[in-house]
Chain A
Amino acid sequence: MSETSSVELNIASNAKSLPVVRGAVERMAAMEGFCEKDAHGLMLAIDEALANVIRHGYDGRPDQPIAIRLTTVTGPNERPGIAVEVRDKGRQVDPATIQGRDLDDVRAGGLGVHIIRTVMDEYDYSCPPAGGMLLRMVKYVGPGNAQG
């Protein structure tokens, strides 16, 4: 794919929106030449980011805005990739506090950020002056996406 292309989705902070976003992400990843495994990783990371905005940024309120922008990019070694921006208008927290936990014991919770860190090549939380949180992430196709 040579030209950059970009798609923006504006959803409400409702868990019902998540499959719709997954459907869009899955198709875009396939268009950009992501293999099934990488496409799933991208989809999962975005899903976890949105679930966190719904649960933490908006404390479960289902009618708040979330904007997702997907942009095709070219990364190291000309590898195609997809850059993702997730913006909310919810609670601002210190990006340093957004961390996965150690996975030594078997319990629920604290898995989302670990998943994002594992499957994405880059991720970065920030607090834009306009309010809310901004998460930027990138995933490239091919090697270098090894889980672990």
Chain B
Amino acid sequence: MKHSMKLPLYITVATFVLAYAACVAQYPNMLSSRVIANLLTDNAFLGITAVGMTFVILSGGIDLSVGSVIAFTGVFLAVVLRDTSLHPLSAFALALLIATVFGAAMGATIHYLEMPPFIVTLAGMFLMRGLAYVLSTESVPIDHAFYGWLQSLYWQAPGGGRFRITGLLLLVTFGVAMVVLHRTRLGRNVYALGGSAQTAQLMGVPCARTTIAIYAISGGLAGLAGIVFSLYTSAGYSLATVGTELDAIAAVVIGGTLLSGGSGFVAGTFFGIMIMGLIQTYIVFDGSLSSWWTKIVIGGLLFTFIMLQKGLAWLTTARIPRANGSTARS
């Protein structure tokens, strides 16, 4: 039954491998180092956001504000670098601080005012996007030597693929998140909260601290994703990353984490991200879908992956005698 815990993860990995193999069978070019490097680079900011989202969803919450936080961070960086002489590194630190504090504030609101995360973070989403507009409605280019230097840091693989520093950051974030979630008390408390907040409280989990920490992590990682995004586009734009929260949620869910909380793995999220990236790459390679068919196909594939998971999970649990479900839960 140990494997039944990790089963969704294995299913996601298997799905990814199968899907990739199918794509390569049709377009051999998709095995090139370029495509692999692009999967990492292009999805770096989404992946980092999804890590934070995994924390939140594991705890039974949801964070709709991440897309706006990314946009805000980008605009903030661009405006600060344009209008002040601050070094980008200090600007990064400042941006991370703002995003983290913002997340923590949402966490505190959720905990102390007993408001549902969906609504608190929805309001947060409006607020951050609004603040980004207030900073600048125009797209502000970032033209700083440091940015150029960061962008020039990459390893060119045979075949032309460029493995960039942001891709590395993505992998590091996932690594750290895995350690935090599985090997620290905070991480286990996240799972505990997701199992049942009430029970966790009775078991002595510091709910206030944990909730605040979770949303602070999500906010902070969204801020980090904002930095990555600003490196990616060398600009800050208040209209950027609209709807990214839904992409991140979808990636987390495809990665096998239950939206009801308490069950899932951050490694699954990684493959969730890769699957979403693969879908897009495939659509570009195909190149024959109209705008509307693109949407329909993305929705259809989302549905397919969910059903695939359901089906596999059902196949594997049907053989294990059904738990009585009588474990007390609130």
Do A and B bind?
no
